[in-house]
Amino acid sequence: MSLHSITPDFSLASATHTGPVWRFDWLSPVRCRLLLALLLFAGALSRVIFLTQNCPLDLSADEAQYWDWSRNLDLSYYSKGPAVAWIIRASCALFGDNMPAVRFPSVLIGVGVALCTYWLTARLFKSEKLALGAVVLCHFVPMYIAGSFLMTIDPPFVLCWALATCFGVVALTGEKRWAFPVAGLFVGLGFLAKYACFLWFLGFFLFLLIEPAYRKWLRTLWPYLAVLVAGVGGLPILIWSVRNGWISLKHVEGDITASGFQWTNLPEFLLGQAGLLSPPLFVILIAAIVMVVRRWGDAALWPARYLLVIGGSFFLTVCGLTFKTVPQPNWPGPSWFTLVILAAWYIGQANLTVATWRRWRGFVAATGVIGLMVMAFSQNSAALYPTIDSIHRYFKPGKPARIRSYDPSGRLRGWQQFGSAISDAMADMRPGTFLLAGEYQTAAEMSFYTRGQPLSYTIGTYLKHPGARGRYSQYDLWADRSLEPDKTTLLGKDAIYSGYWFEEIEKSFEHVTKLPPVEVWVNGSLIYVHDLYRCEKFKGIKKPVDGGTSF
């Protein structure tokens, strides 16, 4: 996908010239690419330094869980495909089982997504200046900032979505038939990260259907070959699912039908997405969408329609799910790849006219300011904890602030301290002491941050009362993590338990002693309190068979 044939003309066919504001004539294609290289290098270097120089943010529960998966490589896993585990294991094989190694791939993937953004923008709008602007704009999006160093399923998912979108353009604009199966290949690889990647075809086929110039492809085998290739890419998950009774399908069904009809979820979801995208940029995007819709028949605007349909179809699908469940904030993530480019294109049009630029320059400036604030806050949020505490105590005297309710990064703090406390407690216990948690998230953090990184076990799905019972997880599928008396090798061994207290836990051991709780304080503020128990001589515990387990 060469850029050499792309002309550097910043003017757009649909713009109305009433006097340029910023022409950026000095930005030749070569200079644009040099600035891109400097931007991406500086960004990647800063993230590597952040991760390796006393990073205050420990692994999230999801990151720790995926790391634990990576120690047991398989064709797939309970709730997700295998891609994230494979990637993390490759990185840890090179750099060791530590926090930076788990997260290094997200830094590299972020560079890949930025390159896709640049190439796609330049290819569609024939402007490398606009392409550079789109990349810069992405660096100010709060969702992108958070995802630039967290290694979850979303970075590889978004990268594969972006590559499929780019090769879709190659197939359509360059009449390159080979690009169809290549796009399908990346959809298949993305499916290994997150099942929702297959919905890329929804937008792509919808675009072919509604765009007369490209509808002819529907009468050929090539788009359908792309679907076939993607399906082949998903074979590992299919094989694993057959072997495990389609349990992942039950999990997905539980996620998207978690509640009855709830129309109030949609407004809350949209407000949350506006915050994650950046409120002023969200307004710009709405204006861009309105413009594209109002000028739908304009042949020159087909690139904008491509971006809108690819991203918008996925976003609307997630919006539809809000009537049955509460979507996680990251669910629409890949839709923002094309929609942010659409917003950048719209800003570029406004920049060509004095009147329209004056209308939007405040929103553009606000987007940059908010992005810079989010960058600073994401790395130094603890500096605001005393202020948060003071404000909270003013309105609610006598009640300490739950920092984790105000700062999402609070969930990523204190796990090293937690692991050290467990390690110290285990030092005074018999050899063979194992880690036990009420929830799989805590089990994963215990395993990663306890010295020696021993295996951990979960007891949540063994509880009798359905209301207290935890969700199913990968820990329930691994044979060597069973707690059943006739299946486990842990009988007679001691354990350190962390989590809520339940009667079954006491009955599963001969003796249980509550240890001093682990209080996590950051900058004078209480973040979390972990309860620990010393449990002696495990007797095993049977899972209930009443079908009350949540998938």
pLDDT tens across 537-546, in order? 999 999 887 6
In degrees, rounded to 5, the angle at the alpha carbon of residue 252 between the alpha carbons of residues 248 and 256 is 170
14 burial (CB, 10 Å; 0-12 / 13-18 / 19+) is middle
User: Comparing 142 with 336, which gets the higher pLDDT?
Assistant: 336
Pair of tokens at residue 322:
């809000």
pLDDT(6) > 50: no
Per-residue pLDDT at 260: 58
* Helix (H/G/I), strand (E/B), else coil: 496: strand
Q: What are phi and psi of 530, to 5 degrees?
A: -105, 125
- At 241-270, the pLDDT tens digits run 999 988 888 777 766 665 556 777 888 888
Per-residue pLDDT at 376: 77
CA dihedral 288, 289, 291, 292 (to 10 degrees): 120
Helix (H), strand (E) at residue 437? strand 434-437
Which of 336, 500, 512, 495 lies closest to 422 in space, CA to CA?
A: 495
Which of 294, 288, 327 lies closest to 311 in space, CA to CA?
A: 288
pLDDT(22) > 60: no
Average pLDDT, the chain: 87
Spatial separation of the C-alpha atoms in residues 122 and 267, rounded to whole Å = 34
pLDDT(2) > 60: no
Per-residue pLDDT at 17: 41
Handedness of CA 388, 390, 393, 394 (dihedral sign): negative
Q: What are phi and psi of 509, to 5 degrees?
A: -130, 160
The contacts found for 294-301 with CB under 8 angstroms, 24 or more apart, are 295/14, 298/14, 299/213, 300/12, 300/13, 300/14, 301/14
User: Comparing 198 with 468, which gets the higher pLDDT?
Assistant: 198
Please compute the mean of the pLDDT values over residues 301-308 and round it to a whole number.
96
- At 477-536, the pLDDT tens digits run 999 999 999 999 999 999 999 988 888 888 999 999 999 999 988 888 888 889 999 999
pLDDT(304) > 60: yes
Residue 375's pLDDT band (boundaries 50, 70, 90)? confident
pLDDT(27) > 50: yes
Percent pLDDT > 90 in the chain is 61
Helix (H), strand (E) at residue 72? none
Handedness of CA 123, 128, 130, 136 (dihedral sign): positive
pLDDT(389) > 80: no
DSSP state of 301: G
Beta bridge partners of 509: 538
Per-residue pLDDT at 7: 33
With contact defined as beta carbons under 8 Å apart, do 440 and 67 qualify?
Answer: no
3-state secondary structure 441-488: HHHHHHHHHCCCCCCEEECHHHCCCCCCCCECCHHHCCHHHCCCCCCC
pLDDT(277) > 90: no
pLDDT(105) > 60: yes
The angle that helices 179-191 and 154-173 make with each other, rounded to 10 degrees, is 170
